[in-house]
Chain A
Amino acid sequence: MGDSEPDSHLVKRVQKGDKSAFDLLVLKYQHRIAKLVSRYVRDPADALDVTQETFIKAYRALPKFREDSAFYTWLYRIAINTAKNHVASASREPTELGLRNDDAAGVELEEIQKTIESPERLLFTEEIKTAILDAIEKLPDPVRTAITLREVEGLTYDEIAITMNCPVGTVRSRIFRARESIDVSLKSLLEN
């Protein structure tokens, strides 16, 4: 099972009319898209706007998405085009942004704005990085190894099980424990 499989499930749900499934895609990819956009758009607030616009365009185009490519590849292209258009239009009219609240996009924009996080959190600050890395340091060795192999190396549970010489169920459990432990630190940081 690969990384694209959850996306495929969520895309199918959205295409059947489940808007909350799109929220999950936004929550999953907002950081990656914001980071990508910020390579083109320097201002964090503008980067947030372009990120939002990317997701609105994706949401509108999703009924036509036939999964010829992975969802993220498709989303990536939208983000790049949106960012480039923004840069081009900003050079002509610096204050002009591609989104307005007074048209049909207004409702969608509002919903996506609610889902997308603040620019600071979106472009994860050093503080967030430090919190996560500190939390990882405190994990028991097998748990830390499991999450590293999964998140950094991109290994499947089967591959991790072979590497660590343990059952797949143990790998699954260790990765969950790692995420939960890190989440405790991260949550408290983000809430404060």
Chain B
Amino acid sequence: MNKEHISAFMDGEATTEEVEEVIDSLGEDPTLRGKWSRYHLIGEVLRSDRFVTGEKLETLGKRKMLRIEAPTRKAILSRPAIGLAMAASIVVVALTVVLFLSGAPDKPEYLISEFEPGDALDSRYIDPEEQEADQTVVQIGKSESVREHQLNGYFTNYNRQRARLGVPGVNPYVRMVGFDSE
């Protein structure tokens, strides 16, 4: 029989006719069974030595690396989209770290007041007393109630301004029944 069929059969690549022929031949011929056994032994040794570092395997390893060569750092950076995305990620991370280190634990009020939406509005429409009260409250601490109060302060300012412009505002956490009419 053609011994190439044995090799193909053990790889699951033999045709249906070849399969039957191979099994029959291997059953009848001890010499072929020896070959079958050694063919498998070759595979086992190659797979078992896959992660062993040795002079001979290094050669095989190099060949493998040539085939499935990983993209180099230079290659990655040379792609504009990837490079841009990486740069943006670094900036975001750096900014987050700087913000966190500079103010988050010690001065939460700074961050909150920095992004106080009311600041964007025209200062003429902001009640100075309430603004001062808000800032005072912010200085107290960073508890949930303070944050809520601050947010309500923002909504109050916002709605007051919107009402003066004749545009509906948004509902604050606290009810503002008759706010404008009072």
Contacts and interface: CB of A to CB of B under 8 A. Distances in A.
Name, among B8, B11, B46, the residue most crowded by chain A CB atoms within 10 Å (CB to CB). Answer: B11
A153 interface: yes
Contact of B44 (A20, A32, A137): A32
B7 A153 contact: no
Nearest to A157: B13
B23 A27 contact: no
Contacts of A136: 46, 56, 60
Range of interface residues on chain A? 35 or more
A176 B13 CA distance: 12
B46 A31 contact: no
B107 interface: no
A164 B35 CA distance: 27
Contacts, number: 125
A182 B42 contact: yes
Interface in A139-165: 144-145, 147-153, 156-157, 163
B53 interface: no
Given A24-B26, A31-B40, A163-B67, A5 B45 contact: no
Given A31-B40, A31-B41, A20 B26 contact: yes
A31 B50 CA distance: 16
B3 interface: yes
A77 interface: no
A111 to B, nearest CB: 13
Interface in B110-137: none
Name, among A1, A156, A163, A173, the residue most crowded by chain B CB atoms within 10 Å (CB to CB). Answer: A1
B57 A28 contact: no
Contacts of A176: 3-4, 7-8
Counting from the closest, the 4 A-B pairs by CB-CB distance are: A20-B27, A1-B12, A5-B12, A27-B37
Given A20-B26, A21-B27, A156-B12, 20 more contacts: A2-B12, A10-B23, A13-B23, A20-B27, A24-B27, A28-B40, A29-B40, A31-B41, A32-B44, A35-B44, A124-B45, A147-B46, A148-B63, A152-B46, A152-B47, A157-B8, A157-B13, A175-B11, A179-B39, A182-B42
